[in-house]
Amino acid sequence: MQPDLRNCTWYRERSCCRQAELESIFKKVKPLQGASENCMRHLNYMICWVCDPLQYNFYSNGWRRLKMCASFCDAVLNACKDAKLKGDYVGVLYPTGAEFCKSRRFDVALNDKDCFSYNGRMPRSDPRWGPSSNAGPDLESFSYLFMLFLCIQFYHRRNVLL
């Protein structure tokens, strides 16, 4: 549980990411010129993959590249096509959402399985989250413990590689 998340708040209850990590990521992101509010929202969703408690499902090539769902890449491109990147319209630079995501160094899952996607409406009752409770996570739940184990492994691996 990460109650201090100021961004990606929909993951607060079941996330292993920390606010400092998000600040580090967002600091490196350069805004698109003329980006609409909808575009900025979609880019925010894209960056928040790091907080998704199921992120271990979204990797390919042995934890090297994150897989984005093709439909999500299309949604991001559609939202940002009229913004400019290095003086050109995003929609001209990248004719497909898959090309846009690949340019951001993501793999793309064309079948939309085992990949990251977010539509802005992740209800607390979503079955991926497990039982919903205001009292916090059910520590006796195997799925919660497994997720915690994967978060620890992710951070350990990341620190070893750094």
Tens digit of each residue's pLDDT (9 = 90 or more) over 3-25: 666 667 777 777 777 777 777 76
Q: Residues 6 or more apart from 135 whose CB is under 8 A from it?
A: none
104 is a domain residue: yes
107 is a domain residue: yes
154 is a domain residue: no
pLDDT, tens digit, for every residue of 105-120? 888 998 877 888 876 5
Domain carrying residue 74:
9-123
24 is a domain residue: yes
Domain count, the chain: 1
Of the candidate ranges 46-50, 71-75, 121-125, the one whose mean pLDDT is the lowest: 121-125
